[in-house]
Amino acid sequence: MQRSTPLRMAAAAVLAVGGLALTQPASAAQTAPDDRQAAFGQAAKTYEVPESILLGVSYLESRWDANAGRPSNSAGFGPMHLTDAAALATEPAADHHGQGEEDPRGDESRPFTVPKQTVPPAAIPASLKTLEKAAELTGASREELRADPAANIRGGAALLADYQKQLGAPLSADPAEWYGAVARYSGATEADAAKVFADEVYDTIRSGAERVTDDGQKVGLRALPDLGKIEKWLERLGLHRPRRDGVECPPTVSCEWVPAPYQALPDDDYGNHDLSDRPWNQKVDYIVIHDMEGYFAPSLKLVQDPTYVSWHYSLRSNDGHIAQHVKTKDVAWHAGNWYVNAKSIGLEHEGFLGEGGAWYTEAMYRASAKLVRYLALRHGVPLDRAHIIGHDNVPGTLPSTVRGMHEDPGPFWDWAHYFQLLGRPLHASGGPKAESVMILPDYAKNQPYYYGCDRKNPSADCAPHGSSSVWLRTEPREDAPLVKDIGKHPTGDSLYSVYDHSARANTGQRYAVAERQGDWTAIWYLGQKAWFHNPAAQPTAVPSRGLVVTPKPGLASVPVYGRAYPEPEAYPADVPVQAITPLQYTFAAGQRYTLGLAAQGEYYRAVTFDATQHKVIRGKLKYYQIQFGHRVMFVKADDVVVSLA
């Protein structure tokens, strides 16, 4: 619904800004326009900011969406992503690896208990409290700046004008003169990060953009293909240049080297990752998307602790800046499954799965997509949802570990948009009666019910917001119970919690069709039929032709596994055999599941600090990865028949 909250009536006033004076014009007293395009025009005129600059900055932050007044996963509000960190949790003082039951290393040969780490409270950086400054500059209340898109746009315009004046740059009609203020708006303290953000904004202005926002507003940015940029204003920001040290990043992103320590510890222990030689000893099959369940700076402190865990890259929300911690040839401890860890690269994104936040910035999506494209090309990883997975898609290793596996990045990560940025947009394949489907709801219109977004009131409903997930039910009706996950809830029902994926299918995932009835489609999911609403007028899935597996004739059921380990005969005498233990689910005759990739049984033995003692054990046993539930799982190739559906 379009909001039309009036702006606070404010008389012209002179506000002290960093020793400068910024006069608020009389036009500030106008009522906020209902039209988003008009709001950009009015704010640009009021604060003498080129409209193209205002639109370009907003696009890089929010794609002009209002997000119903809800904060981003890094505490940014509205089209201009005005930040107010006090609105979200500022102290879980550990990232998500320190929460819950999951062992991030995921290898019972060397179990790892995450220490109860905390990061001392630190002052909130200016980049996470720009809403406070915008309130000072405009006279609008913090509530208006959060909830009213027009007020929020005015706040962003006021900030840009303030940054321009502090630089000593003119309030010029020429967008080229605003390069430094745009870079400053990123909130970056690194010169490269500020420049990359500004360059993305200017590239957006040169190419133009047009879209309908999440609340139905049509907004356009006219292309200015000949737009230049005056880089001297960026130089005046005086930002520092971080360590690069051979980072593995594309040149079009801002990237620094913040190493995770490979360090010997007392009692024959070590941390916080394992040295390896990928892809020469093992192929990288996965890139795993995480969120930090925290903010960027505290998470970087944790990954530099030798007693903690690790991941390969961290990405900052406001500007998309990247820090690399572990070389991609080495194995980080991030996914909770040692087989997946040994064959994956882990990316942590600033933000919270829930905690009141519901969206990620365009700047971070773009930086992440550029990094993933680069890594996928370098390591030969296909750009599909069988290989580009969330932490919430990683299976438990044993029946006992299924329940504690993590759920990030959660239902608010926009997988469809992410794959557009990856250059591999998700789309239908096959005819209307295809025997498999890809989950693909319209993110903005798909607003399923969740609770649990407010940590202080965990039973409260989440505000409606776009989502990549659809609920799965036992029967084709809205009031039917959710399907059950006997691994996640051995004796109970699936929950509508934003943190519970037990009865959800996610964008880009492919499933075999079990039945259709009217506007409802049933898929095979965790050994049962699972129904979701899929009306022709607003489909939540599309036909998807591909390979499926079913038990071989004569087998009543086949086991499913959380990892693809070799047969016992493959292990040398000095390496303990790793058990091939089925999970608690049933894959019965007559059921079908989509095939994501084929894998040869492998185990990376790495339990000592001396990396020369590490070994890859590779067997003859062949597995298929299948989309068995929300998480991927494995079946032995000898147990199933592969067909096209």
Structure confidence by residue, pLDDT tens digits, 409-467:
999 999 999 999 999 999 999 888 899 999 999 999 999 999 998 878 899 999 999 99
pLDDT single digits (tens) 613-643: 999 999 999 999 999 999 999 999 999 999 9
Residue 536 lies in a domain: yes
Same domain, 529 and 582: no
Query: Residue 154 pLDDT > 70, yes or no?
Result: yes
Total structural domains within the chain: 4
Share the mean pLDDT of the chain.
91
**Helix, strand, coil in percent for the chain, rounding step 5:** 25, 20, 55
Q: Which segment of 9-23, 130-144, 277-291, 447-461 scores lowest on mean pLDDT? A: 9-23
Q: Please state the length of the chain.
A: 645
Residues 394 and 448 placed together within one structural domain of the fold: no
Tens of pLDDT, residues 164-206: 999 999 999 999 999 999 999 999 999 999 999 999 999 999 9
- Please, which pLDDT band fits residue 20 given cuts at 50, 70 and 90? very low
Full domain range(s) for residue 626: 551-644
Give a yes or no: residue 123 inside a domain: no
Verify that 292 and 400 share a domain, yes or no. yes
Q: Are residues 248 and 221 in the same domain?
A: no
Average pLDDT over residues 72-79: 92
* Domain identity same for 394 and 540: no
**Is residue 456 assigned to a domain?**
yes
Residue 537 lies in a domain: yes
Write the CATH number for 262: 3.40.80.10
Nearest to 533 by CA among 546, 517, 547, 545: 517
What pLDDT was estimated at residue 357? 76
Residue 552 contacts residue 520 (beta carbons within 8 Å): no
**Per-residue confidence at 3, pLDDT binned at 50, 70, 90?**
very low
Q: Kindly report the pTM of this predicted structure.
A: 0.93
Q: Same structural domain for residues 385 and 249?
A: yes
Residues 6+ apart with CB under 8 A from 305: 117, 261, 271, 272
Query: Quick one: 419 and 563 in the same domain?
Result: no
**Residue at 615 is within a domain:** yes
Percent over 90 (pLDDT), the chain: 83
Show Cβ contacts of residue 529 under 8 Å, excluding neighbours closer than 6 positions: 474, 514, 515, 522, 523
Segment 342-396, tens digit of pLDDT = 999 999 999 888 776 789 999 999 999 999 999 999 999 999 999 999 999 999 9
Question: Does residue 321 carry a pLDDT above 80?
Answer: yes
**Residue range 119-147: mean pLDDT, rounded:** 87
Among residues 448, 454, 467, 452, the alpha carbon closest in space to that of 356 is found at 454
Q: What is the mean pLDDT of residues 247-258?
A: 97
pLDDT of residue 46: 98
Note whether residue 118 is domain-resident. no
What is the C-alpha to C-alpha distance for residues 486 and 479, in angstroms, rounded to an integer?
21
Q: What mean pLDDT do residues 43-60 have?
A: 98
Q: Which amino acid is at 64?
A: W
Q: Are residues 77 and 216 in the same domain?
A: yes
DSSP 299-361: HHHHHT-TTS---SEEE-TTT--EEE-S-TTSEES-SS-HHHHHTEEEEEESB-SSTT-----
Provide the pLDDT for residue 34.
Answer: 77
Look at the block and give the residue holding tokens 């250059």.
Answer: 423
In-domain check, residue 100: no
Please indicate, yes or no, if residue 166 is contained in any of the structural domains.
yes
**What is the CATH classification number for the domain harbouring 451?**
2.30.30
